[in-house]
Structure 1
Amino acid sequence: MTAAAKNEDSEKAESTTTTAPPQDKQLWRDLVGFWILGLCNNFGYVVMLSAAHDIIARFDNNQVLFLFFWMCTATLYFAFEKGAILLADVVPGLVVKLIVPFLPFWINTRVISAIFLTSMSFLLVAFAKTEMLAILGVACTSAACGIGESTILAYTSNFNKNTLSTWSSGTGGASLFGAIAYAGLVALGMSNRDTMLIMMSIPLLQCIGFWVILRKPRETKDIFLNSIEMTSDTKELVGYKEKVQYMGTLLKYMIPLLFVYFFEYFINQGLFELEYFENSFLDKEAQYRWLCVDYQIGVFISRSSVNLISFRKIWILALLQFFNVAYFLTEVIYFYSPTIWIPFAVVLWEGLLGGGAYVNTFYRMAKDIPQSRREFAIGVTVQADSLGIMIAGFLALPVHNAICRMPEYKRLTF
């Protein structure tokens, strides 16, 4: 081969390696589609928690006037019933997340199941004649959320990694807009039943987001297959045994995420209700409501921020969340904060840490894990946050009750 020919070949090879990847002018469809799917997936979960008191009140007309946990005077009946709704909104989703990753990834079947369960949940709660039917409706929401998160989040592995960011932002938006939507409709005078029927628009939006806006992976394959992410020769996991063995490698992602959510929901379920400033411009109910909104704002901001700020050491966020637990635990016992704005700042920080841990965990997985195994890995790791929430729920109640028995809380009783 002549020198000129060699130079020509080298120039061709160099031009091939330095050519920029083709622009994907339709990428916006995937980004918008996953944002909508994240919003719809968690919307029902948030609405059911927001509506817990109203759902209970429909079946019991003898509730005491003040049924707020922060008063430490809630009836045992109310505590049990609200606890049942909280468990119904968490446990079915966790069970689903434990099973779904090991099932065939039939995406359309899974999405149809999630949409069907979401629709059934709103209808059951709207038309329920008994408490058990209403709680079954809440459980359907939880199961739908579990199927959706395990499926759609794993489905992002077939798309541009920024779709993971928009999915997370959508779930954060659900936390904020879901609570505001329910409270706003009730404030306009709508009944719990009518509000639930209006929420039937969410499954319809979910259908549009998945089957109309979002592209199918085959439409993006020319661009996706040219990415560096697809060059790994790691074989795909086959069989139950291989998948279970591989789960051990995912603990470095799951354990920090579990602790972040455990500490976060230990505060939210056990300590939030006990924080109270007597001389504030907000009354007791408003303080709790705005603390929840403050928390959701933090979650929404951080779940939408991974393209601006990203980090790998999630265990640091777990440690920082533990410090938040220490602050709130001592605060609700000794009431040493001089102003209500300090708890508001800590709650916002708590939400930022929780949302940041969620989005950065999966964003890191999108970079670290070979594409051939990413779908299963992400589908399994979503179990961690639900497990942390459930453990927090079981531990928060006895701690809450122990604090309520302290002499300091006599001033909060009627």
Structure 2
Amino acid sequence: MEPRRVNASRSSDSDWQGEGGSASREEADDDAAAPPDRAGERRSHWRNLSAFWLLGLCNNFAYVVMLSAAHDILKTETNQTAALNVTNASRYDCNEISTAAVLLADILPTLIIKFTAPLYIHQIPYNYRVSLCIVTAAASFFIVSFSGHVTVSLLGVVFASISSGLGEITFLSLTAFFYSDVVSYWSSGTGGAGILGALSYLGLTEAGLSPRNSLLVMLIIPALLFISYFVLLLPPSSLPRWKFPTSYSLVDTSDQRPLLDEPSSQKSATSSHRSVADKWSIIKSLLKYMIPLSIVYFAEYFINQGLYELMYFPNIKMSHSAQYRWYQMLYQAGVFVSRSSVRCFKIRHIWVLACLQCGLATFLLVGVAYFFLPSLTLPGIFLIIVFEGLLGGAAYVNTFNNIAIESKPEDQEFAMSVACVSDTLGISLSGAIAIPVHNYFCCLS
């Protein structure tokens, strides 16, 4: 593994632009790529790569588990009489409340955090942010496990959302202090959270544990998050950890040699000193990635939380809840594979993935409406769901990899924190639309 590192010797943006020195940023990164010179630095680099993989895993784990448990949460805690009335009156086997309600509880706090955080997050030291992520993740598992009512359970899901949303914007910003290949490891870790979270919940419930006890087992994840950040990760001394900075700077003064080895003329252009006009200019340059990513996630989660529950095969031994868990696990398997693939191949045109995902959502919506999906057989549906996950994971990892490559070093931390709102916005919109769609189908007799 050869970590890419920004060449500290460049003196201006003209080194990267124009027809004359127009070697691409990617080519320049490849030319500058070199493993750390000393064995100790090499070991430190691998520790950081491992830490970012685990941070991605732990950050998304609670979010994934809550979505995997959505059908169980609503089925066991919703008023059973009302649920049975809906089920008996409808041609679909429905819960009274759509699983999209769990999705909204799992994503709206994240959306609020991501929209507002770029305005203030750089003033909060990283250790405080991560500590809050750990506490809220643990609280989410406790609350949902011991809840006796769906409203309380949704409050627990909200805590999972706070942990995941704050964690994502924190850890993506944190990548700016390290070699740029930590981005791919972070992304792979988030994909790992998908498959391991869904698979662990599926495995524990299939083994006979109740959903409540299965969630209690998940408390190991906040502990692993603590170890990954406070023990395994080796941050540079320039990282604001506990002390609230008076002047926020990303200049490295340690032997860690982070990504941002910018020349002195650029050192003042940090996120705390950047003007509103400069920030807006950066945001506009990111829209070519942010808009397609939002569309991908809109279609993706419309399928996951709007249609999965309605894609029910009644004439097999697997229960409705078990089928839903398998859908979630197979989707996350596709996400994990594609989020780990960026070192093998890269995709520049995210809009192609957006078109494919929208086409898939349309196909499944029509299939649910006209009942032709069972003719495809359950394995056929499983393959479609894996493909859906592959598209979503590829869109995520390639979006952030492209931004990491194309952003100026002094802009990268801000660019990463802004771009991560894209998937959350798409997910939130899909949840809002999935609820009336669910209600429409469940009212059909």
TM-score bucket (shorter structure)? 0.7 to 0.9
Q: Displacement of 1:22 after TM fit?
A: 3.5
Q: Displacement of 1:272 after TM fit?
A: 2.3
Q: Helix, strand or coil for the counterpart of 1:216?
A: coil
| Maintained 8 Å contact 1:93/1:142 | yes
Partner of 2:426: 388
**1:20-59 map, 5 Å:** 22-23=36-37, 24-26=41-43, 27-56=45-74, 57-58=76-77
| Maintained 8 Å contact 2:101/2:435 | no
**C-alpha distance in 2, partners of 1:130/1:255?**
37
**C-alpha distance in 1, partners of 2:111/2:32?**
46
In structure 2, relative to structure 1, the CA distance for the partners of 1:165 and 1:188 (3 Å cut) is: same
Instruction: State the Cα deviation string for residues 275-302 of structure 1 (Å, max 9, x = none).
Output: 3456667565544332322211100100
| Maintained 8 Å contact 1:232/1:371 | no
TM-score, normalization by structure 2: 0.78
Partner of 1:113: 132
- Residue 310 (structure 1) aligned with residue 343 (structure 2): no
| Maintained 8 Å contact 2:330/2:385 | yes
Partner of 1:236: 270
**C-alpha distance in 2, partners of 1:336/1:54?**
26
Partner of 2:6: none
In structure 2, relative to structure 1, the CA distance for the partners of 1:382 and 1:402 (3 Å cut) is: same
- Residue 252 (structure 1) aligned with residue 252 (structure 2): no
Q: Helix, strand or coil for the counterpart of 1:309?
A: coil
**1:201-212 map, 5 Å:** 201-212=220-231
| Maintained 8 Å contact 1:102/1:240 | no
In structure 2, relative to structure 1, the CA distance for the partners of 1:333 and 1:125 (3 Å cut) is: closer
Q: How many residues align?
A: 387
**C-alpha distance in 1, partners of 2:33/2:317?**
62
Q: Displacement of 1:58 after TM fit?
A: 4.5
Please, which moves more after superposition, 229-238 or 102-111?
229-238
Q: Displacement of 1:19 after TM fit?
A: 11
In structure 2, relative to structure 1, the CA distance for the partners of 1:49 and 1:240 (3 Å cut) is: farther
Please, which moves more after superposition, 203-212 or 187-196?
187-196
Amino acid at match of 1:74: C
**C-alpha distance in 2, partners of 1:278/1:176?**
26
- Residue 272 (structure 1) aligned with residue 305 (structure 2): no
Higher normalized helix content (fraction of residues): 1
Partner of 1:344: 382
| Maintained 8 Å contact 2:331/2:388 | yes
| Maintained 8 Å contact 2:110/2:166 | yes
Q: Displacement of 1:118 after TM fit?
A: 1.2
Q: Helix, strand or coil for the counterpart of 1:317?
A: helix
**C-alpha distance in 1, partners of 2:60/2:442?**
32
**C-alpha distance in 1, partners of 2:66/2:198?**
9
In structure 2, relative to structure 1, the CA distance for the partners of 1:133 and 1:236 (3 Å cut) is: same
CA RMSD of aligned residues (A): 3.1
Partner of 2:168: 149
- Residue 124 (structure 1) aligned with residue 147 (structure 2): no
Q: Displacement of 1:345 after TM fit?
A: 2.3
Amino acid at match of 1:45: Y
**C-alpha distance in 1, partners of 2:383/2:33?**
48
| Maintained 8 Å contact 1:71/1:274 | no
Amino acid at match of 1:215: L
| Maintained 8 Å contact 1:21/1:223 | no
**1:64-213 map, 5 Å:** 64=83, 72-74=92-94, 78-79=96-97, 82-103=99-120, 104-128=123-147, 130-213=149-232
Please, which moves more after superposition, 278-287 or 234-243?
278-287
Instruction: State the Cα deviation string for residues 116-139 of structure 1 (Å, max 9, x = none).
Output: 111222222233455443322211
Larger radius of gyration: 1
| Maintained 8 Å contact 2:86/2:442 | no
Identical residues among aligned pairs (%): 42
**C-alpha distance in 2, partners of 1:298/1:48?**
18
- Residue 398 (structure 1) aligned with residue 442 (structure 2): no
In structure 2, relative to structure 1, the CA distance for the partners of 1:345 and 1:66 (3 Å cut) is: farther
In structure 2, relative to structure 1, the CA distance for the partners of 1:198 and 1:276 (3 Å cut) is: closer
Q: Helix, strand or coil for the counterpart of 2:344?
A: coil
| Maintained 8 Å contact 1:118/1:203 | yes
Please, which moves more after superposition, 197-206 or 300-309?
197-206
Instruction: State the Cα deviation string for residues 366-387 of structure 1 (Å, max 9, x = none).
Output: 1100121111111111111011
**C-alpha distance in 2, partners of 1:138/1:276?**
25
Instruction: State the Cα deviation string for residues 288-346 of structure 1 (Å, max 9, x = none).
Output: 33232221110010011110111111111101111112221222233446432433222
Instruction: State the Cα deviation string for residues 172-221 of structure 1 (Å, max 9, x = none).
Output: 11111112222333334434443333222211110100011111124995
| Maintained 8 Å contact 2:64/2:198 | yes
Q: Helix, strand or coil for the counterpart of 1:271?
A: helix
| Maintained 8 Å contact 2:141/2:156 | yes
| Maintained 8 Å contact 2:195/2:336 | yes
- Equivalent residue for 2:257, pick from 193, 218, 224: 224
**C-alpha distance in 1, partners of 2:318/2:308?**
15
Q: Which runs of 5+ in 1 are unaligned?
A: 1-16
In structure 2, relative to structure 1, the CA distance for the partners of 1:229 and 1:328 (3 Å cut) is: farther
Q: Displacement of 1:352 after TM fit?
A: 0.5
